[in-house]
Chain A
């Protein structure tokens, strides 16, 4: 606890603290299967039997039709860029409590079967990243069934 002096010379009490709440997120059978398959460099989504849309990462229910998903779908090992963010504004990642290194790139991508998703891009030059370009995943050497098993996506060789 400390005090600071404002512009008008008044002493004001200021408390700085870090709220760090540890927790455990339930994976459930669907995300559990999905995360497990990351170890084998496989990406899986689920398909709705009513609207036929594929959702990736997989969900138990189709958010639009509110019906159970019909089946597992193995995704292709490439996707296309829809749009992207190259972020130059450093923020704290609440999952680690540490500052994210900048710049980092968030890619919004679509699989050939129409499932849209987002993840990191390895390329940070907005001139090189273009909507419609093909990207492929880059896997970590050591995979533990976590989102970080997938390091990100790079532009595929033409």
Chain B
């Protein structure tokens, strides 16, 4: 991607993500993440030029939350943008902040994603994305086992074992991340014995509804030089959108992850992602989707990723660490979910991920967002400045 100037991540902040946060209101929740990003970047709020702010309004039922949150994000007198692109909201926030800084428009931009899901009804909210004249009547929101059905038919029992194993791995990682919502101690059997939501998707395969916020600070190169925190550089990002209905009759059409990955790899000279990329924070709404999508991001057409899962290759100390944070199946405050992916990837590059730090030097990290009818936003971050 051609950029006018380089952009660095100058700080990261997130709340502890929890199932209940009745002790704070929406604005107070957001301010916790903002407070942490200010401390992490050692920047004063008055130095920030613009705020990009996003969630899914129908999940809390608050219209114009950016207006409410001026008290919580220090937006008074600053430029403000509201972004809401469904599940990809968080990654789109990062894309937008990146553009605002790269363009030369602003030097320091704060991006905030948040959701307080205990206040609404997620699936009912999501259903409203569909055409009210047809699809909305039969929408199942995000509860779908279709990918599982397709994988079971293609790869048989092994796929079901691997999806369960992937969930166990995410739980193992989440237990090392005190900010994760679900830090479960589970086995493959627990996953396979859990309640069926939409066969073969089971309760434990599915992401939770969490309350939390995540904020990131983006700085121009000149500004970043003056700031004390370790820098992570924005290398590239790509967004692939689709039409407003799911075209399951043309499955190749739904491979937006593969398309995004191909573009990112080509533009950045990545020929062997497993070798060149140190960690992947993937948006995994369910372990079935995660299992399928790993194959798409890594161009494995014959289900090689299934064996890799069963081999432990995606573990923190494995060949290609995926979601050391515990992933979306462990933590899912939707408007924040995708920005948490980028934030966690940045922490991994900095070496600041504490107990869930990948035990090796990471030069490049990948972070994905997913939403809508298979929309993908993919970000590539690096320890070194990109060569444009």
Contacts and interface: CB of A to CB of B under 8 A. Distances in A.
B260 to A, nearest CB: 17
B196 A88 contact: yes
Interface stretch (B127-135, B264-272, B364-372): B127-135
Contacts of B132: 25, 95
A72 B236 CA distance: 43
Interface stretch (B71-79, B246-254, B305-313, B338-346): B246-254
B198 A35 contact: no
A93 B123 CA distance: 9
B177 to A, nearest CB: 23
Nearest to B200: A126
Interface stretch (B30-38, B138-146, B226-234): B138-146
Interface string A92-121: 111100000000001011100011111110
Contact of A89 (B23, B125, B198): B198
A92 B146 CA distance: 21
B81 interface: no
Contacts of B121: 91-92
B249 A88 contact: no
A136 interface: no
B136 A94 contact: yes
A142 interface: no
Contacts of B153: 131
B79 to A, nearest CB: 30
13 contacts: A4-B22, A12-B22, A12-B23, A85-B140, A85-B143, A85-B146, A88-B197, A108-B248, A116-B247, A116-B248, A118-B135, A118-B138, A148-B137
Given A6-B23, A83-B248, A25 B133 contact: yes
Given A92-B121, A94-B127, A119 B138 contact: yes
Contacts of B140: 85, 87, 91, 106
A82 interface: yes
Contacts of B250: 116
Nearest to A5: B22
B52 to A, nearest CB: 26
A92 B124 contact: yes
Interface residues of A, number: 41
Contacts of B196: 86, 88
B251 to A, nearest CB: 8
Interface string A14-44: 1000010000010100010001000000000
Interface in A55-91: 57, 63-64, 82-89, 91
Contact of A118 (B150, B198, B200, B248): B248
B150 A83 contact: yes
B3 interface: no
Contacts of A84: 146, 149
B127 A57 contact: no
B198 A83 contact: no
A49 interface: no
Contacts of B127: 91, 93-94
B199 interface: yes
Contacts of A148: 137
List 10 A-B pairs, minimum CB-CB distance, nearest first.
A116-B249, A63-B243, A110-B249, A108-B248, A91-B123, A85-B198, A126-B199, A83-B146, A92-B124, A147-B137
A19 B198 CA distance: 28
Nearest to B196: A88
B61 interface: yes
B243 to A, nearest CB: 3
Given A82-B249, A147-B137, 9 more contacts: A6-B22, A83-B149, A85-B143, A85-B146, A87-B198, A91-B127, A92-B123, A106-B138, A118-B246
B195 interface: yes
A57 B149 contact: no
Contacts of B135: 118
A8 B196 CA distance: 34
B158 to A, nearest CB: 18
Given A106-B138, A118-B246, A147-B134, A91 B124 contact: yes
Nearest to B153: A131
B248 A88 contact: no
Contacts of B128: 94
Nearest to A30: B133
A27 to B, nearest CB: 6
A127 B64 CA distance: 46
Nearest to A80: B249
B199 A86 contact: yes
Nearest to A118: B138
A13 B19 CA distance: 18
A106 B150 CA distance: 15
Contacts of B197: 87-89
B131 A57 contact: yes
A88 B198 contact: yes
A27 B131 CA distance: 10
Contacts of A115: 249
Listed residue (A82, A91, A92) with the most chain B CB atoms within 10 angstroms of its CB: A91
